[in-house]
Structure 1
Amino acid sequence: MGEPGTPSLAERPVVNYAIKGLGLVGVAILSGLLWLAFQPSLVAGTPTTPPGVPAYQFAAHAEHRDADCGKRAYGAVAEFLAKSSCQQVVRSLHTTSTADGTKVVVSVAVVRMADSKDAVELNRLASRDKTGNIADLLRDGYTVPDGPRKLTGAGYASRVSGSVVTIVESDFFTEGRADVELLKAISTDALRFGAIMS
């Protein structure tokens, strides 16, 4: 026991500051953990690197997932998905640039079916003219900075991998520019997203 009039351990200035300091460190750590926990999974404009040898660099701007595939399509494709065993559709918007600096918006849709038979049928239907398709996010009101409000002369590419169908459409920011082969090459390169979005 200390001498009468001697401050207790908790009352001693050095110990008191140490306790307060540890408390502040604890609050800082907790705040950091909470900040990480509530961060969005996709930050607009962040670089994205799908697997494979890249021909283009992409930046992500939006992503949406839904188990109700029929609601996220239109035309005959929507009718097919409403009756099929579709499990999930993941749609995203990206941007990239051509060699001369021209900006391009890229829409990626990855659809997971229950089996490869339905996946092949979906791809066949979506690749035909006037049968509809998966609705790109621009149709749903999503945007990219200074980008087009809709896809017009879009380049198209699709691929089936097991029960997963990846569909990509791309278009120039600049209205009226036409280069279908270049857009098709960009869309084909973006098919690599199917491996990480499914």
Structure 2
Amino acid sequence: MSDTSPMPVITGSPPAAPPQRGPRLVLYAVGLVAVAVVSGLVWWLIRSGGGVSGQVAAPTEENPLTSGEFSYTVVAGPQTSTDCAGNAYGDVASWFTQHPCERVVRALYTTRSGEARALVSVVVVTMPTATEAQQLKLITDTDGTGNVNDLVRDGTASLPGAPSVAGGEYHSKSEGKEVTIVESEFYGEHTDDALLPRIGSDALRLSAALRG
């Protein structure tokens, strides 16, 4: 056999070209990185308490004692009763015997503005209906008809040197079944015909502190 015999011819298809590994591989790698980043962010939110539901922290409730023009300090009360007739005087007490209330809450506050110091009585009366609440406001708004006692007038609170708020500034408001009554007066001999009405009007918001 000759060493110079021709090599056998191999027939068939040429070997397949290797797959392209350029742009497609880069996009795949970028996608993996993006998934990893998002997964890490979600895990961090869960661990940090942020959650993934877009929860928003509840707003902080305002303190009615400090959220207005003047700041107030509680000096007596709140005192709660269901006997409005027994805690009133004049025509108002008589009216309550025919129209019993659901509840009356009374409290006393002090507030300062510069050198002026005022005592403020806040009373919140809850009636069975809004109509009766409006009727009560109409009666208490009328001069000479009496009112609900403040805590000093009926002896519940003993505050040396306290002024008579019943003879001072008067304000009221009716909201649904509630009537808020505010009486205020300065301590000592202080007078200010512009300041006291501002205090009385501002103190109407203290009804929020007497609810619940």
TM-score (norm 2): 0.65
Aligned to 2:179: 165
Aligned to 1:75: 90
* Structure 2: distance between partners of 1:149 and 1:51: 21
* Structure 2: distance between partners of 1:117 and 1:65: 22
Q: Tell me if structure 1 keeps the 8 A contact 2:163–2:187.
A: no
Partner-residue secondary structure (3-state), 1:170? strand
1:29-66 per-residue CA deviation (whole Å, 9 max, x = no partner) reads xxxxxxxxxxxxxxxxxxx9317841000000111111
Aligned to 2:63: 49
CA 62–167 in structure 1, closer or farther in 2 if over 3 Å, else same: same
* Structure 2: distance between partners of 1:52 and 1:94: 12
1:68-114 per-residue CA deviation (whole Å, 9 max, x = no partner) reads 1100100011111121031111010000001x221110000000001
In terms of Rg, which structure is larger? 2
* Structure 2: distance between partners of 1:127 and 1:84: 17
Greater Cα offset, 50-59 or 122-131 = 50-59
Aligned to 1:124: 138
1:158-198 per-residue CA deviation (whole Å, 9 max, x = no partner) reads 000100000000111113x3334321211111111112313
Q: Tell me if structure 1 keeps the 8 A contact 2:120–2:165.
A: no
* Structure 1: distance between partners of 2:81 and 2:117: 28
Q: Tell me if structure 2 keeps the 8 A contact 1:153–1:178.
A: no
1:97 to 2:142 alignment: no
Aligned to 1:66: 81
Q: Give the partner amino acid of 1:194.
A: S
Partner-residue secondary structure (3-state), 2:183? strand
1:85 to 2:100 alignment: yes
Moved over 6 A (4+): none
* Structure 1: distance between partners of 2:152 and 2:122: 11
The percent of aligned pairs where both chains have the same amino acid is 37
Unaligned ranges ≥5, structure 2: 1-61
Greater Cα offset, 64-73 or 146-155 = 146-155
* Structure 2: distance between partners of 1:152 and 1:133: 9
1:197 to 2:210 alignment: yes
Unaligned ranges ≥5, structure 1: 1-47
Backbone CA RMSD of aligned residues = 2.0
Q: Give the partner amino acid of 2:82.
A: A
Q: Tell me if structure 2 keeps the 8 A contact 1:103–1:172.
A: yes
* Structure 1: distance between partners of 2:70 and 2:152: 21
Q: Tell me if structure 2 keeps the 8 A contact 1:54–1:189.
A: yes
* Structure 2: distance between partners of 1:52 and 1:115: 31
CA 163–169 in structure 1, closer or farther in 2 if over 3 Å, else same: same
Q: Tell me if structure 2 keeps the 8 A contact 1:95–1:103.
A: yes
* Structure 1: distance between partners of 2:193 and 2:151: 21
